[in-house]
Amino acid sequence: MDCATCESMVEVYLDGELSAAESAAFEQALERCPACRERLEEARALSGLLRDLPAESAPDLLRARVERDLRAAGGARPAAAPRLPLRWMATAASLLVAASLGWMGGMLSTQQGRDADELVSGYLRVAASDHPVDVVSSDRHTVKPWFAGRIDYSPPVHDLTTDGFPLLGGRIDVYDGRKVAVLVYGHNQHKLALTLWPASADNGVPPDISQRDGFVLAQWRHGGFEMRAVSDVGTSEMESFAKAIDRTIDSDR
């Protein structure tokens, strides 16, 4: 067995996919090839590093990013592209692990970051689903009663079609460990997810619009409710949406 053949068999040997005869031939070749032995040790070390990584579930947002990047990489890589050398694979894997840990560390370093992640993850569930709402209706008299008995409060529900944001329906989600109401609105080809729950303070807080990971978020307090909205619309459209919500709540008093 020549060195090139020996090197090409490292991964399948570690995975236990060689026959007994092939494994014996591979092990004999290793005795004559220091480079192949080094490659095998690198592969074992990389396998051990990956095996020892924490087994906690990745956040929805991280999974969505990884799936998006894998699809992009898969589409960009020609079908006949050669396999990268193992040490380059090991380097790439270590960089990916470091980047993922750094991303998670940065995202989880503050409560605000955790809150934003939960909201964006909830929006992704809405935007990526074929059934983004549990109750489908633009009629507030259908959507509002649907929440009764499912959550411990009655959210303000309004259709904003005249403002360019038609109500698509409602759903239940979990935010900060609590079941909350989510109202889903449309705007052209976009969706907006408005998560709201009773505020612990009476004073209103004007909308704070920010951008995070390609999404636009708005948080404010109005009419006795905490409001959190997420979408992929522009910041000016999000401002218009928040103003329309406040205006409609005030007119309904």
The closest alpha carbon to 231, from 249, 247, 244, 218, belongs to: 218
Query: What's the confidence (pLDDT) of residue 156?
Result: 95
Q: What is the pLDDT of residue 66?
A: 62
At 234 the pLDDT is: 94
Which has more pLDDT, 46 or 81? Answer: 46
What pLDDT, on a 0 to 100 scale, did the predictor assign at position 157? 96
Confidence class for position 109, pLDDT limits 50, 70, 90: very low
What global pTM score does this model have? 0.58
User: Considering only CA atoms, which of 153, 186, 176, 190 is closest in space to residue 228?
Assistant: 176
Q: List b or e across 172-194, with b for residues whose CB sees 16 or more CB atoms inside 10 angstroms.
A: ebebeeeebbbbbbbbeeebbbb
Mean pLDDT of 164-177: 93
Instruction: Residue count of the chain, please give it.
Output: 253
Give me the pLDDT at residue 103, please: 47
- Conformational region of residue 16, where left means phi above 0, alpha means psi within -120 to 50, and beta covers everything else: left
pLDDT of residue 101: 47
Spell out a b/e string for 103-113, using b for 16 or more CB atoms within 10 Å of the CB, else e. ebeebeeeeee
Mean pLDDT of 210-222: 92
Positive or negative: CA dihedral 36, 42, 45, 49: negative
Pick 198 or 46 by higher pLDDT: 198
CATH of 3-56, one of 3.90.1750, 1.10.3470, 1.10.10, 1.25.40: 1.10.10
Name the residue ranges covered by the structural domains of the chain.
3-56, 111-251
Is the pLDDT confidence value at 159 over 90?
yes
What pLDDT score was predicted for residue 70?
59
pLDDT at 7 over 90: no
What local confidence, expressed as pLDDT, does residue 63 receive? 59
**Dihedral of the alpha carbons of 11, 15, 19, 25, in degrees to the nearest 10:** 40
pLDDT band at 246 (very low <50, low <70, confident <90, very high): very high
**How sure is the predictor about 110, in pLDDT bands with cuts at 50, 70 and 90?**
low
Higher pLDDT, 180 or 45: 180
Question: What number is the average pLDDT over the span 16-38?
Answer: 79
Cβ–Cβ under 8 Å, residues 29 and 6: yes
DSSP per position, 24-85: HHHHHHHHH-HHHHHHHHHHHHHHHHHHTS--PPPPHHHHHHHHHHHHHHHHHS-TTPPPPP
Q: Are strands 135-136 and 190-198 parallel, antiparallel or unpaired?
A: unpaired
Residues 6+ apart with CB under 8 A from 216: 209, 210, 230, 231, 232, 233, 234, 235, 237, 238
Give the position of tokens 């609590």: 178
CA angle 95, 101, 105 (to 5 degrees): 145
| Of 232 and 121, more confident | 232
What CATH superfamily is the domain 111-251?
MucB/RseB, C-terminal domain (3.30.200.100)
* Strongest mean pLDDT among 59-63, 72-76, 170-174: 170-174
Mean pLDDT of 235-246: 97
> In the prediction, which pLDDT does 82 show?
47
**How many CB atoms neighbour CB 89 within 10 A?**
15
For range 82-98, the mean pLDDT = 50
Residue 167 dihedral angles phi and psi, to the nearest 5°:
-75, 125
A 10 A CB-CB count for 72 gives: 10
107 pLDDT higher than 50: no
- The pLDDT value given to residue 21: 79
